[in-house]
A and B are shown apart, each in its own frame.
Chain A
Amino acid sequence: MYTHATDAGWISRSHQAIAPFRLVRPASIEEALEAAAEENASFIAGGIDLVRRMRGGDRWQTLVDISGLSEMKVTSDEGDHLRIGALTSHWEIETGELIRKRLPNLQAAWRTIGNVRIRMAGTLGGNILAREAGYDGLVLLGVMGAELVFVTSSGEAVVIAGTGAPLPDRPALLTSVRIPISADTGLAFDRSLKPVVSVAVCKSGDTATVGVGCAFNSPRYSTIRQGEDAQSISSHFPDAIDNPMGGAAYRSRMVGVLAARMLAGGNGL
């Protein structure tokens, strides 16, 4: 509910009631980190998530606009990895020539995100750092074992997606994501049951990683070995969210059904 609650009641704001803030437009990553170190500051990339939340009542004293940091927009081939800048828009991922060559399955999966307006304005970094259970970016990157490269005031910090390691607290800046090229061949994604559940699988050798979106408070992952009954993957996960939007039993069962289906298809173990 995008309403703002006090003890006395709910107030539904429009964008016209967004709380004032100070705008900082840094010219470098260092400046960005410095500005973000201030109390109650947030980065803003495409802004589509942040504006939505501020409309709902979130307040920031300072917004640090990182959209001008061109070094975070670059995609580069690093041999066994492709590095994609955190400011790359969904649209650039979907249409990028290098990505088409090196990560065609990821590119195809990425094309299913939201809609053209969202894909043009939204960025890779914003998708991940919005920390929404229903967003697809981290589900996909998690099964691929991508490296999320952050810089903090104390230097670079790499988090391997899908390991369950926590994302660093603000004001860490995600600069790029390094994706293992080898993971792409085994990748498949099914979002047909969103917003109840989404499932990504990535096969590598005789194991497959299964990632689940929407069903938990943040994406969850598990692995399954050759010979195991793929449907049993459901039991690897804790109890799913149980509410009138989707029952826990249904969500959990669908993890097995969708994963098994993808593994039986082109991505079979």
Chain B
Amino acid sequence: MSGELVYLTCRVNGEEVSLHVRPEEIFVDVLRDRLAATGTKVACDLGACGACTIIVNGNPTASCGLFAWQAEGADIQTIEGLANNGNLDPVQRAFVENSAFQCGYCTPGMIMLARALIDRDPAPSRADIRNWMGANICRCTGYEMIIEAVEKAAALQQEACNE
């Protein structure tokens, strides 16, 4: 048996998206297969690792565990939406400058997770950063360079605001 298609309207990286989705369709496939936004990655497929993290209404969210229709009306940001006309977001810049990645597979999720933190708290303490970033798994880096990059991203953003 198959359910009726559901009409979904949401904003992805600032653009209005409307499409029909199957009830069982998962949001990460809307991104990867329908919108050709393959930056978001899937790893554990269980909500545990955070490789698929996107920002939904300001909240870092595992897109592997979200039915597409659950995004109805939501404002969604993905890794593709951060850089503005080729100018990297402060979080991206900090990850680049600090080499806070290796294989890069966790990186889009890590960056979105960090982005959501700095959106809420522009000057998080190191302990806050460790705690928050503890949501996502990176098997490559040992995390210290990621934590330092998030600290730096907050500083870069402050600088940009002060200018």
Whether A and B touch directly in their complex, counting CB atoms under 8 A apart, is answered as yes
Nearest-Cβ distance from residue B129 to partner chain A, whole angstroms = 11
Within 8 A of A (CB), among B74-115: 113
How far is A256 from B132 in the complex, measured between Cα atoms in Å? 32
How far is A74 from B8 in the complex, measured between Cα atoms in Å? 27
Give chain B residues whose Cβ lies under 8 Å from the Cβ of A14. 42, 45
Nearest-Cβ distance from residue B13 to partner chain A, whole angstroms = 20
Contact call A21/B23, Cβ cutoff below 8 A: yes
Most buried by B among A21, A22, A51, A67: A51
Give chain A residues whose Cβ lies under 8 Å from the Cβ of B59. 91, 117, 120-121
Contact call B46/A16, Cβ cutoff below 8 A: no
Q: How many B residues have CB within 8 A of the partner chain?
A: 33
Contact call A117/B1, Cβ cutoff below 8 A: no
Give chain B residues whose Cβ lies under 8 Å from the Cβ of A55. 45-46
Residues of A within 8 A of B (CB): 2, 14-16, 18-23, 44, 47-48, 51-52, 54-55, 61, 63, 65, 67, 91, 115-118, 120-121
Taking A23-B3, A115-B134 as known contacts, 4 extra A-B pairs with beta carbons closer than 8 A to each other, sorted by chain A number, are A20-B24, A116-B60, A116-B113, A116-B131
Give chain B residues whose Cβ lies under 8 Å from the Cβ of A21. 3, 23-24
Residues of B within 8 A of A (CB): 1-4, 6, 22-24, 26, 28-29, 42, 45-47, 50, 53, 59-62, 64-67, 69-70, 113, 131-132, 134-136
The one of B26, B69, B131 in contact with A15, judged by C-beta atoms closer than 8 angstroms, is B26
Contact call A23/B65, Cβ cutoff below 8 A: no
Q: List 20 A-B contacts (CB under 8 A).
A: A2-B46, A15-B26, A15-B28, A15-B45, A16-B26, A16-B29, A18-B24, A20-B1, A22-B1, A23-B3, A23-B23, A47-B67, A48-B65, A51-B47, A61-B1, A63-B23, A115-B50, A116-B131, A116-B132, A117-B59
> Closest residue of chain B to A20, judged by CB?
B2
How far is A21 from B46 in the complex, measured between Cα atoms in Å? 20
How far is A115 from B59 in the complex, measured between Cα atoms in Å? 12
Given A16-B29, A47-B70, A67-B70, A117 contacting B62 (CB threshold 8 A): yes
Contact call A117/B135, Cβ cutoff below 8 A: yes
How far is A121 from B48 in the complex, measured between Cα atoms in Å? 13
Give chain A residues whose Cβ lies under 8 Å from the Cβ of B42. 14-15
> Closest residue of chain B to A23, judged by CB?
B23
Given A23-B69, A52-B46, A55-B45, A15 contacting B64 (CB threshold 8 A): yes
Nearest-Cβ distance from residue B125 to partner chain A, whole angstroms = 15
Nearest-Cβ distance from residue A68 to partner chain B, whole angstroms = 10
How far is A163 from B1 in the complex, measured between Cα atoms in Å? 41
